[in-house]
Copies of this chain bind each other. A is one copy, B any other.
């Protein structure tokens, strides 16, 4: 039975014509809930178990890119529109198996007309640098000298950065609208980040 969650008045992010349907069992079985606004804590809505999202939309131009946060390890996952029947479908490789997805929100920065960022060799935006406004399945193939990035500045839009080439491994979602777009060291890439290893980067765009 579908339940619609009202807008959270404490956190007035845009509601737009988007929705996500979550299930507490694999393959879209079990208890189901629909959301059309971000959700700070799924637990408060009565969902206790693993969530299997099915991002969808009510029409054209909806915000289908979402971020899902887990409660235990602080992992982030970007979700594009489509079906994710199992945990592994959205977690990608190298993720900690977790029991709970705690919150999700749309990526508002993805609405900017363009996506532009700069990667730096060292922390605090110093050292060698390179400006990106495209997708790079391999930073080293582009000419970056290393398998690490010291710091990043997101001038416009939103990007997903990955630990390994080919968009694999831990993913970090970086946005121009979050703390001024500045990510001064690897600890700021995401709450689960443990190394500065970044080997592929792509844009999140509508």
Contact = CB atoms under 8 A, between A and B. Distances in A.
Interface of A: 64, 78-84, 86, 88-95, 135, 137-141, 147, 160, 163-169, 199-200, 202
B78 A140 contact: no
A64 B199 contact: no
* A-side interface mostly: loop
Nearest to A94: B88
Give the 5 A-B residue pairs with the shortest CB-CB distance, closest first.
A80-B138, A82-B165, A81-B141, A80-B165, A82-B199
Contacts of A95: 93
Given A80-B166, A90-B168, 13 more contacts: A81-B138, A81-B141, A82-B140, A82-B141, A82-B164, A82-B200, A83-B199, A88-B93, A89-B93, A89-B169, A91-B168, A160-B166, A166-B167
Nearest to A64: B141
Contact of A137 (B138, B140, B202): B202
Contacts of A64: 138, 141
A6 B19 CA distance: 55
Contact of A164 (B90, B165, B168, B199): B90
Contact of A166 (B78, B138, B139, B169): B78
A83 B147 contact: yes
Given A93-B88, A164-B89, A80 B141 contact: yes
13 contacts: A80-B141, A80-B200, A81-B138, A82-B165, A84-B165, A88-B168, A89-B94, A89-B163, A90-B166, A92-B92, A135-B135, A137-B202, A167-B167
Given A166-B167, A167-B166, A167-B167, A139 B82 contact: yes
